[in-house]
């Protein structure tokens, strides 16, 4: 029996360098029902990034037009650039029964929780600031000033973890992935998401 007709919306946040991309790559490899909402951003692509895969890379003017027209589910500014979630594909997938992951910053996460109170929010926490800095520098794609700016932003973001439903420590990849999977399974079994199934069971019993 299908336990939930509508898909589940998962908000996943972490400081820059927190390992969101690595965890998500493994999650999608193991669950074909998951869909990743591709965010739009005004920042320049990093080496190897492709428009429409990691992000939709658009101009500041185009981004602001989407905000004005209501085409963004959420948006925020981070380290001088816009980031946001286009609304249409998310709504389509949820209606199809797909689970949708929003990989977004803290500001965006706060907006989503207000707009979609039934979403599930997870904050991915690095084991330490030292490990976070090592990960950021290990990318080799940004100058020291940008790394320092991202570390400063992380110190402001991490206290907001208390606003999320769950904390997942991203020390060992396998453990972090398993924790997120367990959260998804548990959330799908909540009574609030299964009322219709219970009613169908009782209706079937009455007709037998």
The DSSP symbol for 194 reads: -
pLDDT at residue 1 tops 80? no
Q: What is the pLDDT of residues 89-128, one digit of tens each?
A: 999 999 999 999 998 888 888 889 888 899 999 999 988 8
Closest CA to 112 of 158, 68, 62, 164: 164
In a domain, 86, yes or no: no
Residue 158's CATH number? 3.40.50.300
In a domain, 81, yes or no: no
pLDDT score of 64: 96
pLDDT score of 208: 60
Q: Are 36 and 24 in contact (CB under 8 A)?
A: yes
Reported as a pLDDT band with limits 50, 70 and 90, residue 45 is: very high
Query: Residue 151 corresponds to which tokens in the numbers above?
Result: 């570390």
Q: How many CB atoms within 10 Å of residue 37? A: 18
In a domain, 151, yes or no: yes
User: What value, to the nearest 5°, has the Cα angle with vertex 31 and ends 26 and 36?
Assistant: 75
Section 182-190 average pLDDT = 94
In a domain, 142, yes or no: yes
In a domain, 72, yes or no: no
Q: What is the pLDDT of residues 6-34, one digit of tens each?
A: 899 999 999 887 888 889 999 999 999 99
Q: Into how many domains does the chain fold?
A: 1
Q: Are 25 and 36 in contact (CB under 8 A)?
A: no
Q: What is the pLDDT of residues 168-183, one digit of tens each?
A: 999 999 999 999 999 9
What span, in angstroms and rounded, lies between the C-alpha atoms of 33 and 29?
10
pLDDT score of 207: 62
Reported as a pLDDT band with limits 50, 70 and 90, residue 86 is: very high
In a domain, 137, yes or no: yes
pLDDT score of 181: 96
What span, in angstroms and rounded, lies between the C-alpha atoms of 57 and 49?
10
Q: What is the pLDDT of residues 136-166, one digit of tens each?
A: 887 767 788 888 888 888 898 999 999 999 9
Reported as a pLDDT band with limits 50, 70 and 90, residue 200 is: confident
DSSP SS3 for 118:
coil
In a domain, 56, yes or no: no
At a CB cut-off of 8 Å and minimum separation 6, what does 76 contact? Answer: 82, 83, 84, 104, 105, 106, 107, 108, 111
pLDDT at residue 2 tops 50? no
In a domain, 197, yes or no: yes
> What is the domain range of residue 129?
9-37+98-207
pLDDT score of 199: 80
pLDDT at residue 204 tops 80? no
pLDDT at residue 4 tops 60? no
Rounded to 10 degrees, the C-alpha dihedral 183/34/189/167 comes to 20
Section 47-75 average pLDDT = 92
């Amino acid at each position: 029996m299908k336990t939930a007709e509508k898909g589940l919306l998962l908000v996943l946040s972490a400081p820059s360098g927190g390992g969101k991309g690595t965890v998500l790559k493994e999650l999608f490899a193991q669950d074909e029902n998951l869909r990743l909402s591709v965010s739009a951003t005004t920042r320049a692509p990093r080496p190897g990034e492709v428009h429409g895969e990691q992000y939709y890379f658009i101009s500041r003017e185009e981004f602001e037009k989407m905000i004005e027209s209501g085409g963004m589910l959420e948006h925020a500014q981070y380290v001088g650039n816009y980031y946001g979630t286009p609304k249409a594909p998310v709504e389509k997938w949820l209606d199809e029964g797909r689970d949708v992951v929003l990989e977004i910053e803290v500001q965006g996460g706060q907006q989503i929780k207000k707009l979609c109170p039934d979403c599930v929010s997870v904050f991915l926490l690095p084991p330490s600031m030292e490990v976070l800095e090592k990960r950021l520098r290990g990318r080799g794609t940004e100058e020291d000033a940008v790394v320092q700016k991202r570390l400063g932003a992380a110190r402001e973001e991490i206290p907001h973890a208390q606003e999320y439903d769950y904390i997942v420590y991203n020390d060992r990849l396998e453990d972090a992935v398993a924790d997120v999977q367990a959260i998804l399974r548990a959330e799908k079994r909540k009574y609030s998401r299964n009322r219709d199934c219970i009613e169908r069971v009782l209706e079937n019993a009455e007709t037998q």
